[in-house]
């Protein structure tokens, strides 16, 4: 079966069986509050609207970037010419999930943040806007994309540190910059072993309140395997499957539980 059809079937299954949209049936006050205050938060504010405006503008951009593709599905270097608008359409988070990571960041107020997979900086912009005083590093392997991400950050007057390099080569040295990690957004190389390696490396820096966010957890069976292993790691107390994204919490005071929440 073609992977597009498989993905759609997985989504239908999620839509039919996911629960707790309004928090009903959730016993954990922590998760209930997360649903009410973050997942169901539809309030927008000036700071969020500023990111939406920049997002809209770059989505229309016909400026062409030329680079060698990396990541899952591209085991060889494939030269690519593509507009910024197309990059955003194909691989950046959309408005709904942009708003989600903005709200998550605002709610948990992390100060030590890391992103794996900047691309042209759309998710980066949502996170940075919600945590203007944080120490935020975002890693990307393609320099052409970082140039655009820097432009977007400067238009929004954000102070994100962009790091160019291959996760496999530089993650360990980037992690040395941190005493702890409060929030990590994993949205780079969607391969099973790579995702697990990055997860394990970042685990070294968690504290009780850390949050890990994984994008595209159902994107392929490979990513689903990685997600299964991550959520069942003994240090993980609670996982939340929102279909496109998965959230991981380590709080010792929580009971072990896996939620699939309609979002
Ligand atoms: C899905 S895109 C990120 C989208 C971005 N987070 C957003 O929502 O706007 C994944 C990015 O990870 C980068 N990437 C993939 N594998 C990488 C690696 N091993 N090292 C560095 N960057 C990598 C790709 O170049 C691509 O730009």
Confidence at residue 200, expressed as pLDDT on a 0 to 100 scale: 98
Contact 175, 198 (CB under 8 A): no
Q: Is the pLDDT of residue 43 over 50?
A: yes
Report the CATH fold assignment for 3-59+91-260: Rossmann fold (3.40.50)
Q: What percent of the chain has pLDDT over 90?
A: 87
How do the domains of the chain map onto residue ranges?
3-59+91-260
Q: Is the pLDDT of residue 75 over 80?
A: no
Q: Is the pLDDT of residue 47 over 90?
A: yes
Alpha helices by DSSP H, listed for 109-260, are: 122-130, 143-155, 167-175, 192-203, 221-231
Q: Is the pLDDT of residue 76 over 60?
A: no
Confidence at residue 1, expressed as pLDDT on a 0 to 100 scale: 67
Mean pLDDT of the region 64-78: 72
Mean pLDDT of the region 116-132: 98
Under the banding of pLDDT at 50, 70 and 90, the label for residue 215 is very high
Contact 168, 194 (CB under 8 A): yes
CB 203: neighbour CB atoms within 10 A? 18
Mean pLDDT of the region 121-126: 98
Contact 63, 69 (CB under 8 A): no
Between the CA of 221 and the centroid of ligand 1 the distance, in Å, is 19
* From 51, 119, 162, 222, mutation site for ligand 1 pocket: most ligand atoms within 8 A of C-beta: 119
Confidence at residue 69, expressed as pLDDT on a 0 to 100 scale: 84
Give the residue among 154, 99, 96 at the shortest CA–CA distance from 121. 154
Q: Please name the residue whose Cα sits nearest to atom 22 of ligand 1.
A: 141
Under the banding of pLDDT at 50, 70 and 90, the label for residue 252 is very high
Q: Is the pLDDT of residue 261 over 80?
A: yes
Confidence at residue 189, expressed as pLDDT on a 0 to 100 scale: 81
* From 114, 140, 162, 244, mutation site for ligand 1 pocket: most ligand atoms within 8 A of C-beta: 140
Q: Is the pLDDT of residue 2 over 60?
A: yes
* DSSP designation for 252: T
Q: How far apart are CA 104 and CA 121, in angstroms?
A: 18
Of 4-13, 173-182, 252-261, the least confident = 4-13
Confidence at residue 109, expressed as pLDDT on a 0 to 100 scale: 98
Query: In sequence order, what are the residues at sequence separation of 6 or more whose Cβ sits closer than 8 angstroms to the Cβ of residue 30?
Result: 238, 249, 251, 254
Query: In sequence order, what are the residues at sequence separation of 6 or more whose Cβ sits closer than 8 angstroms to the Cβ of residue 192?
Result: 222, 223, 225, 226
Under the banding of pLDDT at 50, 70 and 90, the label for residue 77 is low
Confidence at residue 89, expressed as pLDDT on a 0 to 100 scale: 96
CA of residue 219 relative to chain centroid, distance: 13
Q: Which two tokens stand for residue 244?
A: 């496109």
Pocket of ligand 1 (CB under 6 A): 70-71, 91-93, 117, 119, 122-123, 139-142, 145, 166-168, 187-189
Query: In sequence order, what are the residues at sequence separation of 6 or more whose Cβ sits closer than 8 angstroms to the Cβ of residue 127?
Result: 101, 102, 105, 113, 115, 136, 183, 185
Place of tokens 């608008």: 85
* From 70, 75, 80, 152, mutation site for ligand 1 pocket: most ligand atoms within 8 A of C-beta: 70
Contact 67, 142 (CB under 8 A): yes
Helix, strand, coil shares, percent, the chain, to 5: 45, 20, 35
Mean pLDDT of the chain: 94
Confidence at residue 80, expressed as pLDDT on a 0 to 100 scale: 83
Q: Please name the residue whose Cα sits nearest to atom 20 of ligand 1.
A: 166
Mean pLDDT of the region 89-103: 97
* From 61, 85, 117, mutation site for ligand 1 pocket: most ligand atoms within 8 A of C-beta: 117
Q: Please name the residue whose Cα sits nearest to atom 1 of ligand 1.
A: 91
Between the CA of 120 and the centroid of ligand 1 the distance, in Å, is 9
Q: Is the pLDDT of residue 73 over 60?
A: no
218-236 pLDDT, tens digit per residue, is 999 999 999 999 999 999 9
Between the CA of 75 and the centroid of ligand 1 the distance, in Å, is 14
Measured from the Cα of 167, ligand 1's closest atom is 20
């Amino acid at each position: 079966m073609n992977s597009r059809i498989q993905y759609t079937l997985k989504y239908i299954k999620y839509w039919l069986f996911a629960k707790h949209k309004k928090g009903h049936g959730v016993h954990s006050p922590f998760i209930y509050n997360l649903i009410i205050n973050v997942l169901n938060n539809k309030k927008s504010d000036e700071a969020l609207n500023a990111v939406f405006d920049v997002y809209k503008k770059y989505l229309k951009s016909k400026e062409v970037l030329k680079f060698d593709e990396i990541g899952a599905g591209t085991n060889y270097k494939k030269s690519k010419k593509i507009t910024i608008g197309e990059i955003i359409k194909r691989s950046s988070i959309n408005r709904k999930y942009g708003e989600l990571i903005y709200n998550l960041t605002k709610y948990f107020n992390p100060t030590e943040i890391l992103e794996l997979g900047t691309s042209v900086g759309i998710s980066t912009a949502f996170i940075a806007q919600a945590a203007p005083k944080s120490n935020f590093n975002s890693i990307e392997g393609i320099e052409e994309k970082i140039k655009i991400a820097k432009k977007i950050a400067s238009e929004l007057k954000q102070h994100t540190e962009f790091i160019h390099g291959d996760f496999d080569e530089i993650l360990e040295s980037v992690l040395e910059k941190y005493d702890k990690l409060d929030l990590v957004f994993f949205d780079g190389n969607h391969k099973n072993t790579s995702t697990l390696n990055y997860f394990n490396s970042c685990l070294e820096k968690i504290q009780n309140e850390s949050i890990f966010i994984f994008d595209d957890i159902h994107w392929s069976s490979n990513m689903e395997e990685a997600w299964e292993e991550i959520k069942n790691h003994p240090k993980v107390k609670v996982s939340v499957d929102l279909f496109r994204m998965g959230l991981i919490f380590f709080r010792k005071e929580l009971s072990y539980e896996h939620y699939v929440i309609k979002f």
